[in-house]
Chains A and B, each alone.
Chain A
Amino acid sequence: MKKLMAQSLTAAALALGSLVARPAPAAETFIPAPADPSTYLEARALVSNTCSKCHGPTGNGISISPLFPILAAQQATYIELQLKQLRQRVRPDPHARAFMWGIARGLSDEQIEGVAEYFSSLPAAPSPPLTDSALAAKGKQIYESPLQLESGAVNCANCHGLEGQGKSKQAIPRLAGQHPDYLNVQVHYYRSMTRVSAIMNQVSAALTEDQIDAVTRYAASLSGKGRIAAPAAAAPEAQ
């Protein structure tokens, strides 16, 4: 019996070991580009200790569950703005309340800036392919065509970039590579005025459910290659 158990456990351990050999996440290869090594190291430690529990286990900024956004390569200005809003509790969507209100409450401005720069410097997540060509065409049409609002015509691509890369100066988020479900849920938060943005509240209200589905899946599938890379610099030694 004892021998049988030992054999069973060994076999189970070997089987589990083989299962671990899944594709390595992109995080293993990231080459961060810190402007200030000390800030970078502090930010990396904060990400490792805290942020990584939801936003990518290795600190790669690539969350597993669509409950949490992918932050790798996100515009630093956008992350900074969101963290400050979360700290001030002026972004009241349910998951923000449940998770980030508490996490952000103790963050200093310096920590927020450091974390934002850190995530922004990470390699982007691979964009989820949109294989349904009809849906892709529909999403592209919505994404790139003017949408008539009371305040004038807008289109997604104008602000978020043709490749969904976002804009740093206006703190407009990168959409490329994001979980489509996450984008979909956020659009609904804008639609219900749970999240407030003059443009996004109008845009989301003007879209049907099908259109939201198509455009969020299209936006997530974009390459994001229009993003301006962070300035290259040598990575500091690990702690």
Chain B
Amino acid sequence: MRMLRPGALLTLFLLATALMFVAPPAKAVPPFARQTGLACEACHTLPPELTPFGRRFKLNGYTLTTRPALVNDIDDSKKNTLWLTDLPGLAVLAQIGYDHYDRAPPDAGQPYPAHAQSDSFQFPDQFSLVYAGAVTDRVGAWLQLTYNQVAGSVGVDNIDIRYSDHTINNDLVWGVTANNYPTFQDPWNGSGSYTIPNFNTVTLWSSGVAGAGLRAPIIGSLGPGNVAGLGAYGFYKDSVYVEFSEYHSAISGTGNPNVDSTNLSANGGAVDGFAPYARIAYERDWGYHSAQIGASLLVANWIPEVNYISPAQQAAANAAAAAGTPYTPAQTFHPGAADKFTDLTVDWQYQYNGQHNIFGFLGHFAHEREQNSPQLVASNLANATPSYSNATDTLQQWIVTGEYFYNRHYGGLVSFEKTTGTTDALLNGGTGSPANQYEVLELDYVPWLNFRFILQYNIYNVVANNQSPFLLSHTNFPNNPGFPNVKASDNNTWVLGLWMDF
């Protein structure tokens, strides 16, 4: 295989991680409904977006129920020692997508693809088994296993285990959460794992053959199989939310605690030490309205997987070659190198939950500052294989979404995404710009609240700054006469989707 540039490798990792974990299936789950006796609409406008009630259900640790326990043992002080319902909170979630690209993607291995297809059938795109609900009267959990067609494997997906309690007048609801995805524990939907629009089956056209994915802040990529953390939160006066969490690498497929080539090759990189995550938000509810504004801060030292060969390794390889036993030295990390990511995100959400109409306007602005490890920067003359052109890079991302639903059966949304950032040729390849911009237009038909049809059109205006070609590492481009005029809109995709859970 041709060696990819380090920057492209990082981009590939971010993209692959995003593909695997940023687009989880929607999250209205029957176990919660069975436990509480409430219909989906109590907690969701359109899943996974939460209503004010849904947010309080989550903040109270998924434990709300009036269902009599099947087993309810108490001690002398009338404290529960065992509390079990008569059925476990299990559910199946399935997300299916039929994607039609405006232009058939090229074949990475063939200059003239013999059987180009414009259609991709994600069947299922994702398929999950979930336990969701109360474990005790104060502890609740979300435990999810997911098969993902793009990854082609089953893996641990989102996990959130939380303990919660509150004062008698609910002036303070507080809790502790152990989870594996910064923002998964969040009650709002402005950023991270629950960003709306949430239904996403599209594998970016250009990513099929190279690393020309959409750059995005790292906070969206630190998902299941990558990190895990512990946090504490408080919700004061039904309006102010404060949380602090710490995340550590928790890489699937290895029990190796060291950040070494084993871990890095399993994951494409790893968080070094602990990554603190802080979150504040304010919610105000009045009448049919609910409005929220918030901010979060994540600081993560990230050890990237890079193609680094130390001088000693190279000397050994040279000696071996001279002795007639040549080999290619391989190492996937640079000793001591770590990039520092600082993600500051401001998010907001407005909801109108009327008798028949639901309006929503939500989104976020994220600013990421990436202080690249000096060892990996081009200006460091000791490094023959630098990964970054700049000592510091930045990334800014906007996502703004408007939505409307009538009677919870018919609706749609319009979403706009724009990312800009500093030019870094080694990190981003091509012109070096990380810019991208796209829109999502979506129509929804929800015949039953747990069964939803989606018609979506994804419009790409800018992909990797429209670098020509934006297939960064593919050798057949740009001079392939069989595939001229590569442009961002080649990624445009119609999606016919189905989402269901039961």
A123→B56 CA distance, assembly (Å): 24
A152 at the interface (CB under 8 A from B): no
Binary CB contact string for chain A from 8 to 26 against chain B (1 if under 8 A, 0 otherwise): 1100110011011010000
| Interface presence of A44 (CB below 8 A) | yes
Q: Which residue of B lies closest to A46 (CB)?
A: B66
Q: Which residue of A lies closest to B168 (CB)?
A: A48
> Assuming A9-B280, A238-B168, is B355 touching A181 (CB within 8 A)?
yes
Contact call B282/A48, Cβ cutoff below 8 A:
no
Interface 1/0 per residue, B224-259 and A, CB below 8 Å = 000000000000111110000000000000000000
- Smallest CB gap from B236: residue in A: A20
Identify which of A20, A28, A65, A97 contacts B239 (C-beta below 8 A).
A20
**Distance A104 CA – B239 CA, assembled complex (angstroms):** 27
Q: Looking at the assembled complex, report how far the CB atom of A40 sits from the nearest CB atom of chain B, in whole angstroms.
A: 12
Report Cα–Cα, A172/B239, bound state, in Å. 35
What is the CB-to-nearest-CB distance from B70 to chain A, in angstroms, rounded to a whole number?
12
- The distance in angstroms between the C-alpha atoms of A50 and B284, with both chains bound, is 20
CA A45 – CA B285 in complex, angstroms? 23
Contact call B56/A53, Cβ cutoff below 8 A: yes
Complex formed: what's the CA distance from A66 to B36 in Å? Answer: 21
Of A1, A12, A20, A106, the contact of B68 (CB 8 Å cutoff): A106
- Among A56-64, A200-208, A222-230, the one that faces the other chain is A56-64
B297 at the interface (CB under 8 A from A): yes
Please, which residues of chain B bring their CB within 8 A of the CB of A53?
Answer: 53, 56-57, 60, 64
Residues of A within 8 A of B36 (CB): 102-103
B120 within 8 A of A: no
Known: A16-B240, A102-B37. A9 touches B171 (CB 8 A): no
Check A66–B288 contact: CB distance below 8 A. yes
For residue B316, CB closer than 8 A to chain A, the reply is no
| Shortest distance between the CB of A125 and any CB in chain B (Å) | 13
Q: Tell me if A101 counts as interface (CB < 8 A to partner B).
A: yes
The CA-CA distance from A5 to B394 in the complex, in Å, is 15
Check B66–A48 contact: CB distance below 8 A.
Answer: no
CA gap between A22 and B284 in the complex, in Å: 10
A58 vs B172: C-alpha distance when bound (angstroms) = 10
Q: Does B25 contact A (CB under 8 A)?
A: no
Contact A65 B240, beta carbon cutoff 8 Å:
no
Which chain A residues border B52 with CB–CB below 8 Å?
64-65
Verify A17–B240 contact, CB threshold 8 A.
yes
B278 contacts partner chain A, Cβ-Cβ < 8 Å: yes
**Cβ of B135 under 8 Å from chain A:** no
CB distance from A126 to the nearest CB of B (A): 14
Say yes or no: is A137 at the interface (Cβ < 8 Å to chain B).
Answer: no
Cβ-defined contact, A65 with B353, below 8 A: yes
A124 vs B429: C-alpha distance when bound (angstroms):
66
**Total number of A residues with any Cβ neighbor in B under 8 Å:** 44
Query: Of residues B166, B355, B369, which shows the largest number of chain A Cβ atoms within 10 Å of its Cβ?
Result: B355
The yes or no answer to B461 lying at the interface (CB within 8 A) is no
Tell me, rounded to whole Å, the shortest Cβ–Cβ distance linking B126 to chain A: 27
Within 192-239 of A, Cβ neighbours of B (below 8 Å) are at 238-239
A58, B280: Cβ atoms under 8 Å? no
Q: How far is the CA of A100 from the CA of B284 in the complex (A)?
A: 25
Inter-chain contact B66/A106, CB cutoff 8 Å: yes
Report the nearest B residue to A185, measured CB to CB: B355
Contacting pair A58 B238 (CB below 8 A): yes
Whether B38 and A67, one on each chain, are in contact in the complex, defined by CB atoms closer than 8 angstroms, is: no
A58 and B66 within 8 A (CB): no
A49 to B67, CA, bound (A): 13
The answer on a CB contact under 8 Å between A48 and B68 is no
A-B contacts, 6 of them at CB < 8 A, read A20-B240, A64-B286, A101-B37, A102-B36, A102-B39, A105-B67
Residues in chain B near residue A50, CB distance under 8 A = 64, 66
Instruction: Give the residue name and chain of the A residue nearest to B65 (CB).
Output: A106
Judging by beta carbons under 8 Å apart, are B288 and A65 in contact?
A: yes
Q: CB of A171 within 8 A of chain B?
A: no
Cα distance, A182 to B60, chains bound together (Å): 27
A142 CB → nearest B CB, Å: 22
Contacts of A19 in B (CB 8 A): 239, 282, 284
B169 at the interface (CB under 8 A from A): yes
A103, B38: Cβ atoms under 8 Å? yes
B365, chain A: closest CB distance, angstroms: 12
CA distance A28 to B36 in the complex (A): 28
* CB–CB A16/B53 < 8 A: no
Known: A5-B297, A98-B41, A239-B168; 17 extra A-B contacts, CB below 8 A, are A1-B369, A2-B342, A9-B280, A9-B295, A12-B280, A12-B295, A16-B240, A20-B237, A20-B239, A22-B284, A45-B168, A57-B56, A59-B169, A99-B39, A103-B36, A105-B66, A105-B67
